[in-house]
Structure 1
Amino acid sequence: MNQRNNRRLVLFPVPFQGHINPMLQLAQILHNRGFSITILHTDLNLSIHPRTPTSPFAPSAMASANRRCAAPFEERLREEVSSPDGRDAPVTCLIADALFRFTWDVAERAGVRRMVLRTGESRLEDPVPEFPPLQVKDLPGINTAEPELLDQLLHDMTEGIKDSSGVILNTFEDLEEISSRNFPIGPFHKCGPSSSGSLLAEDRSCISWLDEQAPNSVVYVSFGSIATVGESEFSEIALGLADSQQPFLWVVRPGSVGGSELLEKLPSCFLEALEERGKIVKWAPQQEVLAHRAVGAFWTHNGWNSTLESISEGVPMICMPCFSDQKVNARFVSDVWGVGVHLNNGLERRKIAEAIRKLLVEKEGEEVRERAAQFKEKANSCLRQGGSSFRSLDGLANHILSSESFVFGSNKSSA
C-alpha cells in the first residue's frame, strides 16, 4: 500500500448492482494509492426495485433519483468538505457515476473537482459507421414505456461526462481506443483483493461443486442482476443445457423468471440432466466462478462487468444481450475480439446446445479459446508495472493531486 497522501475522495455510485461493484473496486484501488475514501450512497437500492420482463430498467426511477438526491447529496457533500468530525484530509475530488447528472452542479457550488465513472462500454457515443460489425439492432436500447425520459437521461449523462474533469473507465487499452481525457485503469477486479459488494447472498456451494468437475468442462450461465427472461425462453435455455451433454452451473436469480417454482414445470430430461451434471443456485460469487479451472464457457447477458470479468479470465462467451450497451458489448465479443459466439434471432434449444459444444469441446471453437487465452494475458499484463492500466492509474492519481491549481470551470473548456 502506498503512503497516505493527505487527500480524500468522495465516491457516489448509482444504486444498481452493476454500478455499485465497480465503484467499490475503484475505491479499493484508489485507497491502495494513498487516498482516503468516503463512499456516499442512497437509501433506495434500485437493483431490487420492482421490474417487469419487458421493462427491466425504469427511466422514471433513475430520473426520480436525480431529482430527489440532489438536495440531500449537496448537504452531505458540504459536510464532508468542511470535515466537521475533525478529519485533516481535505476532499480533493468527487467521483460520481455518470448517470448522476446533478452532481456537476452540486460539485461546482461546493468548489470540488468532479470526475465520473463510466460503468459501461465506453464507445457508445461513436458513430456506427466507424464500427462495421455493428448492426442497427446492436445500438443501445431499452424497451420502455418512457422513451422521452430515457432520451433525456442519456442526453444528461453525455453532457455530464463532457462537463467532468475526466472519465474513469473499467477497461484497458488492448480492448479499446481511449481518448486523452479518459483514464482506463481496468480491469478493476484484478487490481487487488476486495470484499464482495453483492446485494444478494452468494451460494458458495457452487465452488465445491466446481471442484469436482473436469477442467474447462462447465458452462456457467448467469444473466446478471437485472435482466429477465420469459417462461418459454427459460424452458429453451433448460432444454439447450440438457441437450449439450456438458456440465452446467446456472444462476436463476429470484424474480428473474418467477423463481425456482418454474423448475417443477420443466421436462424430465432436464431434471435428469440437473441431477447428473448440473447445479442451479440463486446467486454465485461470479469472479471466483469465472476464475475456476473447471469453467470453460460463460453464457452471459453481456453487461460490461460480466464481459470484462470473462475476458480477464480467458473464458469464451455465449452472448445473449438484453438491453442498453449489452448489445454493443456482445457484437464486439463475437465479431471484433473474437472471444465468443452470438445467439442471434432468439433462443432455440438446438442452437444453444451447438454453441455450448462449439466453445467447450469442438475443434471449431479452438481459435475462440486461443484468443480468449491471449486476452487473459493482455488483461494481466496491462496491470503490471509499466503496463497501460498501471500507467493510466499513475496519470489519474497525478490528475487528482493537481487540484490545488485547479480553477473550477476550466474543465468545461477542455472537454
Structure 2
Amino acid sequence: MPAISSQGYLPVTDDSKLDPITSIPGHPPLLPKDLPSFFQDADFSNYMYNFKLRPFQRLQEAKSILINTFDDLERDVLKALNDDKINLFAAGPFLPPALLSKEDSRDNRTGTGLWPEDQECITWLENQKESSVLCISFGSIASLSDIQFKELVLGLEASQKPILWAIRPNLKDSIESVLPKSFLESDHVYLTSWVPQTLILSHKSVKILQIRC
C-alpha cells in the first residue's frame, strides 16, 4: 500500500482506474479500479483509506513479519516478498482449538469477533441436509444498495437452497426493510448478525460460501 501510494496509484481517480499496477511483488498486473472500495476515494483524508494505510506504513519499521497464511496457499507471493528483502514468515493457519483438536466443537475462540456470535445458527445448520446450505457474508466493511440487495434476493430465491445470511448489526434493520416478507419468513432462510465463521465453514451442511470483504 505505501509503495503503490507513493507511485501515484492511490488514491484511485477517474484518470488512473485503468492504469495496470505491475509493481506488487508476486502479483499479476492489477487494475486500480479493482482495489478495495476505500481506495476509490480521491481524497487522502478518507478515514478508511488512512485506517488501512497506517499499519502497513508501520510494517516498514519491523525487523520481521508474521502472516496468518501458509506456504502451500500463497507460495509465489511469499517468495516474492522475501526476495524483496522483507523478513517474512508464514505462521498460519491460526484456527480455533476445536478445528485443530476436534474435541469440543463449541470452542471457537479466535479473539477476532467484532460482535457477539450467534451460536443458534449452528443448531439451525444441524437440521439441514449435507452440503445444501448457501452461506453469505459481506464482512465488516462492504455494503450494497437497496437495488443490489433486491436483485441478490431474487437470485437467492431462484436457487431454492437453504440460506444462512450474516448481516452485520448496523445494516440488519435497513436490509430487512427492503426484503420481501415471503423471504424473511421462509423456514429455509436464517438471517443473523454475526456468526462463528470457522465453525460454519467446517460444517457438513455448508456447500457454498460467498464472501465480499
Please give the TM-score of this superposition, normalised by the length of structure 1.
Answer: 0.37
Asked whether 1:284 is paired with 2:195, we answer yes
CA 1:290–1:152: 2 relative to 1, 3 Å: closer
Kindly provide the CA deviation profile for residues 202-246 of structure 1, in whole angstroms up to 9, marking residues without a partner as x. 221111110011111111111112322222222222222111111
- Distance in 2 between residues matched to 1:153 and 1:263, nearest whole Å: 30
Displacement of 1:264 in angstroms is: 4.4
AA matched with 2:162? P
Asked whether 1:247 is paired with 2:145, we answer no
CA 1:231–1:291: 2 relative to 1, 3 Å: same
- Distance in 1 between residues matched to 2:37 and 2:174, nearest whole Å: 31
AA matched with 1:161? L
1:276 is paired with a residue of what secondary structure? Answer: coil
Asked whether 1:185 is paired with 2:82, we answer no
Percent of paired sites with the same residue: 33
AA matched with 1:139? L
CA 1:140–1:126: 2 relative to 1, 3 Å: farther
CA contact (8 A) 1:239 1:270 kept: no
Kindly provide the CA deviation profile for residues 334-392 of structure 1, in whole angstroms up to 9, marking residues without a partner as x. xxxxxxxxxxxxxxxxxxxxxxxxxxxxxxxxxxxxxxxxxxxxxxxxxxxxxxxxxxx
Instruction: Look up the match of 2:207.
Output: 296
Instruction: Look up the match of 1:270.
Output: 183
2:72 is paired with a residue of what secondary structure? Answer: coil
How many residues are paired up?
174
CA contact (8 A) 1:217 1:295 kept: yes
Instruction: Look up the match of 2:60.
Output: 162
Asked whether 1:226 is paired with 2:137, we answer no
Written as runs of structure 1 = structure 2, the 5 A alignment for 1:9-408 is 127=23, 131-132=27-28, 134-142=30-38, 143-144=40-41, 146-147=43-44, 157-176=55-74, 177=76, 178=78, 179=82, 181-189=87-95, 192=100, 195-197=109-111, 198-256=113-171, 259-260=172-173, 262-271=175-184, 274-301=185-212, 303=213
CA 1:283–1:129: 2 relative to 1, 3 Å: closer
Instruction: Look up the match of 1:19.
Output: none
1:279 is paired with a residue of what secondary structure? Answer: strand
CA contact (8 A) 2:96 2:108 kept: no
Displacement of 1:133 in angstroms is: 6.7
AA matched with 1:201? P
CA 1:296–1:153: 2 relative to 1, 3 Å: closer
Gap regions ≥5 residues in structure 1: 1-124, 304-415
- Distance in 2 between residues matched to 1:221 and 1:173, nearest whole Å: 28
- Distance in 1 between residues matched to 2:64 and 2:70, nearest whole Å: 16
CA 1:295–1:152: 2 relative to 1, 3 Å: closer
- Distance in 2 between residues matched to 1:154 and 1:204, nearest whole Å: 30
AA matched with 2:23? P
CA contact (8 A) 2:68 2:91 kept: yes
CA 1:206–1:156: 2 relative to 1, 3 Å: closer
Displacement of 1:128 in angstroms is: 5.2
CA 1:206–1:133: 2 relative to 1, 3 Å: farther
Gap regions ≥5 residues in structure 2: 1-20, 101-106
CA 1:163–1:211: 2 relative to 1, 3 Å: same
Please give the TM-score of this superposition, normalised by the length of structure 2.
Answer: 0.67
Instruction: Look up the match of 2:18.
Output: none
- Distance in 2 between residues matched to 1:130 and 1:232, nearest whole Å: 37
Displacement of 1:172 in angstroms is: 0.6
Q: Which structure is higher in helix share?
A: 1
**Rg larger in structure:** 1
- Distance in 1 between residues matched to 2:57 and 2:141, nearest whole Å: 26
Kindly provide the CA deviation profile for residues 76-124 of structure 1, in whole angstroms up to 9, marking residues without a partner as x. xxxxxxxxxxxxxxxxxxxxxxxxxxxxxxxxxxxxxxxxxxxxxxxxx
- Distance in 1 between residues matched to 2:53 and 2:153, nearest whole Å: 39
